[in-house]
Structure 1
Amino acid sequence: MAPAVRPSEAPMLDPALISRLIRRVAAASGASATTTSAPFTGKPLAELPQSSAADVAGAFARARAAQAAWAARTPRERAAPFERFHDLVLDRQREILDIVQWETGKARRHAFEEVYDAAGGTLYYARHAPAMLRRRRTPGAVPGATRTYVHHRPKGVVSVITPWNYPLTLPVSDAVPALIAGNAVVAKPDTQTALTALWAIDLLVEAGLPEDLWIPVLGEPAEIGDALIDHADHVAFTGSSAVGAHIAQRAAARLVGCSAELGGKNPAIVCADADLDRTVDGVLRACFSSSGQLCVSMERIYVHDAIHDDFAGRLVAAVRDMTLNAEFDFTADMGSLTYRRQLDRVTAHVEDARAKGADVLVGGRPRPDIGPLFYEPTLLAGVTADMDACDDETFGPVAALHRFGDEDEAVERANATGYGLNASIWTRDVARGRRLAERIRSGTVNINEGYGATWASYGAPIGGMKRSGLGRRHGVEGLLRYTEPQAIASQHVVGIAGPPGMDAETLAKALTLGARLMKRFRIR
């Protein structure tokens, strides 16, 4: 590893800013509070109010009252604040970059990915959602006599429950389409990274979003989790597969929709013809962005026998040269983990693999000399099925290298998991890469990129197969999940039962002839 750089003595967050943001939290006066700490230093960061189940119920009542007038606006009118939000995010990026780094411990370059995404994803929906929500004509029951269209009604109030690893990207990417579709949102960000979500809400209100349309609550799942599901008209969740299954079951019992992006144990396939320089750089980012605390990061790397040793040597050297620090600039290649429990999990996975015979090619140890939650980016070899790091999601800066002999083997091993969130394929032959991609059971597959190509293609849906989730965010699917499609048809000239006086047998013959003619002339 590059020489350690000790944490900066950067100023802590402005207390006035923190005070302004936490006033947005729906929490009763005198309610319990919790203190978050900065991953870079371990020192206290902010004291945040905690909501009760009653506070959640009150938030939904306020949101429902505000939602009716919001839904009455046209989609284009609703989109206007979001275009302004795009500009404000970019203009105020230094402020939010500091908040994200203080709360997550990630490197500034990875915090910037969230800024870019929050702006870009919001602009996509601000520009395209009005067309997606427009009335859609569809063929009627009787050509020329039945006029039918589909109208998209907002669900009502949506629960958006998001984790700590991408505290700007995830709340914004779920709440923005819900709001533009005409809903209100009650959101529960993770308490550790709540200031980031509160900043986004505050900024969107500054951009023109009416108050009470995006209301945050904070608290432990045991206290407010069920209330967030029981009052919602739709639940959007990002987190673990186990929790996602519980939420989906509880929502289903109420016949309420649920969309969930869950865990992943994502594979990268490096073909024999891959451009090694480009692939090493791309795989490095795919494995270690945000210290590997990324649902779509790569934890399994399958490399063709013909280039395995060359590729492994280059990748190990690149990992060894990575810069780790806690600076509030763009010098770090990787930052800190966010929670002590993540450090413990990463350490346990590596030590279990080491004890059972895996080789640690590079990394493999904590770095308390840099900060309390730093862990070196780590590559393993010889990982076998009896090791925790083989099939369990590590969610940290650890990836395992594997060999493969032919494409069929690579596809079979890539698919040999209960997860199916993301994958990547590295080859000079893009057409071949696409053929391989279509064989991978994964919601997204990137060719010659790890995760950014699919994630930032905002017109394309992203999400998981198998235990990695249900539903999709982004694209038209990510918007219409928050609506109820309503079919409206009007009948003209002649009724469905035929002209007055026509008997049933004659009607049946006329309809039979009509069906044959409509097929012949492709009217249907």
Structure 2
Amino acid sequence: METVTHPTATRSLPLDDALVQRLTRHVVSSTGRTVVTTAPFTGEPLATLPQSSASDVTEAFRRARAAQREWAQRSPRQRIAPFLRFSDLLLDRQTEILDILQWETGKARKNAFEEVCDAALGTLHYARHAPRLLRRRRAPGAIPLATRTRVNYQPKGVVSVITPWNYPLTLPVADAVPALLAGNAVVAKPDTQTALSALWAIDLLVEAGLPRDLWLVVLGEPAEIGDPLVDEADYVAFTGSSATGARIAQRAASRLIGCSAELGGKNPMIVCADADLDRTVHGAVAACFSNSGQLCISMERLYVHDSIYDAFVEKFVAETKNLRLGADLDYSADLGSLTSQRQFDRVVAHVEDARSKGATVLAGGRPRPDVGPLFYEPTVLTGVDESMTLCAEETFGPVVSLYRFTTEDEAIERANHTPYGLNASVWTRDVARGRRIAERLKAGTVNINEGYGAAFASYGAPMGGMKRSGLGRRHGVEGILRYTEAQTVSSQHVVGLSGPPGMSAETLSRVMTTGIRLMRALRIR
């Protein structure tokens, strides 16, 4: 395993007090309590962040509701200007946010850039398309010509956006931007460890022209502010674990408000016998180990056709062993650090459990404290069975298990054999065949000859999970309309639904019967 180590990993942290103070002005906090975050690369203190209480959540919603009333009066087209400027500013100022992302998460710079690219493109997509997607539309009326019906899309009000630590720029922006464009305000709770990345995005959007208080932040432990974030909201957008997502959905349901949840995954890749071997190996390495595997849509299970299994494994293991670990603020490393001690411990526990029960480690399988306290080598295992934790549970780290298959039906059955259904990948030279396989996979997104990026970055299409991997969708039409209430407005003209004055009920029934048959014959209904 190649290691890249340079002085960057030990140089002074770039997050000075002035920067932190500028960003944390968007946090609603009156407690006087603070938390010191640490840099995964080194374990050194990184930033001191204010913590919020339940009453701060209430205050954040009060301020957000006040700001939202004026914002909702603007048309969708009048709302887009700050978001177009934000997309440009994000690209112009990317060095600043790339540094923050790396220091907060420990990820490699190329993975940090994926966040910059996604936030810029996703914002641009909704800024361009929101006026059309939110436009009042006509719908068929009760009686042709006599009934004229329109559907309006009104904002929900104030949306709670709750996001985790692994993609702290991508996920808040992906959920908050369409909510704001739909006329809502947002109260966000990013993970405290990576809160500065989200706060930087908010600060940049305010600089681009977003009115203050439309996107506010609270920081703190879920035990203290988690329930209030659901209880005060008009809608909840959550990304995180399946267990927490289920609890949020239950609490939201008790209030009869909507929620969406992108949750866990144990994502499968199917490599067919006709796959382009070199291309597939290269794609599989990226799909498994991007962001050190801390990606809900990355691959953790690879099913490879028996006829190419040995050749695939040889090439896959060799390329995995050539990956570079490093803590530089440049593009020299392929993999960065894990973000937290908790995640590091989970990866170690999954690998050691599998090893102790007979799995074979073909690559990696060990921590790298020589690079940094939370580094772990990209790891490839075979011989994984259902007695092992990592067989079916999400590891969320740089760990993948390999399996043989002989028939397409076998591969599909095994791929579907988990409670999860977030993302999947199929590799074949026959794209039509890949699409047929995709239709049989119980996953919200399926990528053919790609790991995850093709579907995720298709912003015009929905993204989310089946089974215990999620509820609702981000991206696409669904990704913005989830933040709206559809309102039907119908006007009646010429004749009422009860017929003209003086017409008997019997006569009306005959007229309606004839009318229904006529509409059917003319295919009006």
Q: Which residue of 2 aligns with 1:117?
A: 118
1:210-262 Cα deviation digits (max 9, x unpaired): 00000001000001000000000000000000000000000000001010000
Q: Quote the offset at 1:15 in angstroms.
A: 2.3
Match of 2:23 in 1: 21
CA–CA distance in structure 1, aligned partners of residues 492 and 164 of structure 2 = 49
Counterpart of 2:477 in structure 1 is 476
The 5 A counterparts of 1:128-147 are 128-147=129-148
Could you say what secondary structure the match of 1:403 adopts?
Answer: strand
CA distance in structure 1 between the aligned counterparts of 2:180 and 2:214, rounded to whole angstroms? 8
Deviations 1:337-395 (CA, angstroms, capped at 9, x unpaired): 00001110000000000000000000000000000000000000000000001000000
What are the equivalent positions in structure 2 for 1:487-506 lying under 5 Å apart? 487-506=488-507
For 2:145 and 2:449, the matched residues in 1 are separated by 51
1:275 corresponding residue in structure 2: 276
Counterpart for residue 400 of structure 1: 401
Please report how far the alpha carbon of residue 97 of structure 1 lies from its aligned counterpart in structure 2 after TM superposition: 0.2
Unaligned runs of 5+ in 1: none
Distance in 2 between the 1:298 and 1:487 partners? 43
Distance 2:56 2:92 in 1: 34
Tell me, yes or no, if the aligned pair for 2:173 and 2:201 is still in contact at 8 Å: yes
Q: Distance in 2 between matches of 1:188 and 1:36?
A: 16
The residue matched to 1:417 in structure 2 has which SS?
A: coil
Aligned to 1:52: 53
CA distance in 2, matches of 1:429, 1:196: 41
Q: Tell me how far 1:507 sits from its aligned partner.
A: 0.5
What is the aligned partner in structure 1 of residue 385 from structure 2?
Answer: 384
What letter corresponds to residue 512 of structure 1 in structure 2? T
Distance 1:80 1:143 in 2: 39
Paired with 2:48 and 2:11, the residues of 1 have a C-alpha distance of: 19
Q: CA deviation at 1:7?
A: 5.4
Give the match for residue 430 of structure 1: 431
Question: Is structure 2 residue 23 aligned with structure 1 residue 5?
Answer: no
CA distance in 2, matches of 1:378, 1:15: 38
Provide the C-alpha distance between the structure 2 equivalents of 1:270 and 1:2, rounded to a whole number of angstroms: 27
CA contact (8 A) 1:7 1:325 kept: no
Which residue is equivalent to 1:102?
103
SS in 2 for 1:17: helix
Match of 1:317, SS?
Answer: helix
SS in 2 for 1:306: helix
TM-score, normalisation: structure 1: 0.99
Matches within 5 A, 1:65-80: 65-80=66-81
Shift of 1:302: 0.2
Q: Residues 124-523 of structure 1 correspond to what in structure 2 (within 5 A)?
A: 124-523=125-524
Q: 1:330 to 1:494 in 2, by over 3 A?
A: same
Inter-partner Cα distance in structure 2 for 1:488 and 1:401: 56
Q: Between the two proteins, what is the percent identity of the paired residues?
A: 72
> Where does structure 1 differ by over 6 angstroms across 4 or more consecutive aligned residues?
none
CA contact (8 A) 1:6 1:371 kept: no
Between the two proteins, the alignment pairs up a number of residues equal to 523
Paired residues of 2:420 and 2:466 also in contact (CA < 8 A): yes
- The normalised TM-score by structure 2 is 0.99
Contact 1:4 1:369 in 2 (8 A): no
Amino acid at match of 1:5: T
What letter is aligned with 1:366?
P
Cα contact 2:156–2:485 (8 A) shared by 1? yes
**Alpha-carbon separation, structure 1, partners of 2:431 and 2:16:** 49
**1:116-152 deviations in whole A, cap 9, x for unaligned?**
0000000000000110100110110011110001000
> Counterparts of 2:394 and 2:260 in 1: how far apart (Å)?
21
- C-alpha displacement of 1:402: 0.3
User: Is the partner of 2:150 in helix, strand or coil?
Assistant: strand
- 1:191-221 Cα deviation digits (max 9, x unpaired): 0000000000000001110000000010000
CA distance in 1, matches of 2:426, 2:116: 27
CA contact (8 A) 2:4 2:332 kept: no
Give the letter aligned to residue 2 of structure 1.
E
CA offset at residue 491 of structure 1?
A: 0.5
Give the letter aligned to residue 494 of structure 2.
V
Give, in angstroms, the shift of residue 6 of structure 1.
4.7
How many angstroms does 1:5 deviate by? 1.7
Q: Residue 490 of structure 2 aligns to which amino acid in structure 1?
A: A
Shift, 1:11, TM fit: 3.8
**Residue 222 of structure 1 aligns to a residue in which SS?**
helix
Q: Deviations over 1:420-474 (max 9, x none)?
A: 0000000000000000000000000000000000000000000000000100000
2:424 is paired with a residue of what secondary structure? strand
Offset at residue 16 of structure 1 (A): 1.2
Q: Is the 8 A contact 2:4 2:333 kept in 1?
A: no
* CA-CA distance at 1:80 after TM superposition: 1.3
Shift of 1:79: 1.3
Q: Is the 8 A contact 1:6 1:370 kept in 2?
A: no
Three-state SS of the structure 2 residue aligned to 1:260 is strand
Q: CA deviation at 1:3?
A: 3.6
Report the AA paired with residue 252 of structure 1.
A
Q: Secondary structure at the match of 1:307?
A: helix
SS across alignment from 1:203? helix
SS in 2 for 1:290: helix
Shift of 1:10: 3.9
Give distance in 1, aligned partners of 2:248 and 2:417. Answer: 26
Separation (CA, whole Å) in 2 of partners of 1:292 and 1:5: 21
Matched-pair contact (CA < 8 Å) for 1:186–1:214: yes
* Contact 1:37-1:44 at 8 Å conserved across structures: yes
Secondary structure in structure 2 of the residue aligned to 1:519? helix
Contact 2:23-2:196 at 8 Å conserved across structures: yes
CA distance in 2, matches of 1:63, 1:472: 24
**What is the letter of the counterpart of residue 319 of structure 1?**
T
Q: Is the 8 A contact 1:265 1:300 kept in 2?
A: yes
Q: Distance in 2 between matches of 1:344 and 1:17?
A: 32
Contact 1:67 1:182 survives alignment (8 Å): yes
Q: Aligned partner of 2:285: which letter? A: L
Deviation at 1:31, TM superposition (A): 1.9
CA deviations on 1:377-419 (whole Å, 9 max, x unpaired) are 0000000000001000000000000000010000000000000
CA distance in 2: counterparts of 1:262 and 1:229, whole angstroms: 17
Specify the code of the residue in structure 1 equivalent to 2:444: G
Q: Which amino acid aligns with 1:324?
A: L
1:463-497: CA deviation from partner (whole Å, max 9, x where unpaired): 00000010000000000000000000000111110
Structure 2 unaligned runs (5+)?
A: none
